[in-house]
Chain A
């Protein structure tokens, strides 16, 4: 069973607020990822990290930022939330080239 956690699971927030979505894994995985997915639509990679102090932007342009100062922790921050940021955000991790495990997701609604 995968040990990857995301908080909060659901978040409703007003426009202009700063938010941080938390993601932690206890498997010691080197690689971590953030995806954005709208209901019934495909996964879009927005950020990834191959290790501590390493972060890269993904295939989909995003106004969010990430940090990786500890192996197990990969938070995603939106400085000023907008309604267009409403979506589900999925965190994932993997070791090397092995299978990727996903967290349960954060469903974000910006009013």
Chain B
């Protein structure tokens, strides 16, 4: 089975940095995805980590430690449009999604 944990909500100020943690205990593992989902919309792909370490894509970075069953998504220079739900998903031939972390960016 899959057990994926993320914080439910986070609030941050425009221009700040926020780190969303994801811990997982899964029967199989072939990488970890992060998705962004705005209210009422479909999720969109942000990043994919299959090896340990940090992957950077512009203002967003994602980190993975397979031995610790841990990942985080780092959002830098927060903008109002970053207010959304962020979903951690473990890849074990099909994706198992966490419940998502709702990030609210305040002016």
Instruction: List chain B residues, Cβ under 8 A from A101.
Output: 45
A102 to B33, CA, bound (A): 14
- The answer to whether B33 and A42 touch across the interface, beta carbons within 8 angstroms, is no
Instruction: List chain B residues, Cβ under 8 A from A100.
Output: 33, 45, 89, 95
Q: Does B78 contact A (CB under 8 A)?
A: no
- The answer to whether B99 and A42 touch across the interface, beta carbons within 8 angstroms, is yes
Q: Does B57 contact A (CB under 8 A)?
A: no
Instruction: List chain A residues, Cβ under 8 A from B95.
Output: 100
Q: How far is the CB of B23 from chain A (nearest CB, A)?
A: 16
A100 to B93, CA, bound (A): 11
Which residues of A, 97-111, contact B by the 8 Å Cβ criterion?
97, 99-105
Q: How far is the CB of A46 from chain B (nearest CB, A)?
A: 12
- The answer to whether B94 and A48 touch across the interface, beta carbons within 8 angstroms, is yes
Q: Does A43 contact B (CB under 8 A)?
A: yes
- Given contact pairs A97-B31, A99-B48, A104 touches B93 in the complex (Cβ within 8 A): no
Residue from A33, A90, A99 whose CB has the most chain B CB atoms within 10 Å: A99
- The answer to whether B33 and A97 touch across the interface, beta carbons within 8 angstroms, is no
Which residues of A, 45-95, contact B by the 8 Å Cβ criterion?
45, 48, 59, 90
A59 to B26, CA, bound (A): 14
Q: What 0/1 readout, one digit per residue, does chain B (87-100) give for beta carbons within 8 Å of chain A?
A: 10101011111111
Residue from B39, B45, B87 whose CB has the most chain A CB atoms within 10 Å: B45
Additional A-B contacts beyond A41-B99, A90-B43, A100-B89 (18; CB < 8 A): A39-B39, A40-B39, A40-B102, A42-B97, A42-B98, A42-B99, A42-B100, A45-B94, A90-B42, A97-B31, A99-B33, A100-B45, A100-B95, A102-B42, A102-B44, A104-B41, A104-B42, A105-B42
The 4 closest A-B pairs by CB, nearest first: A102-B42, A42-B99, A99-B45, A43-B97
Q: Name A residues whose Cβ lies closer than 8 Å to a Cβ of B.
A: 31, 33, 39-43, 45, 48, 59, 90, 97, 99-105
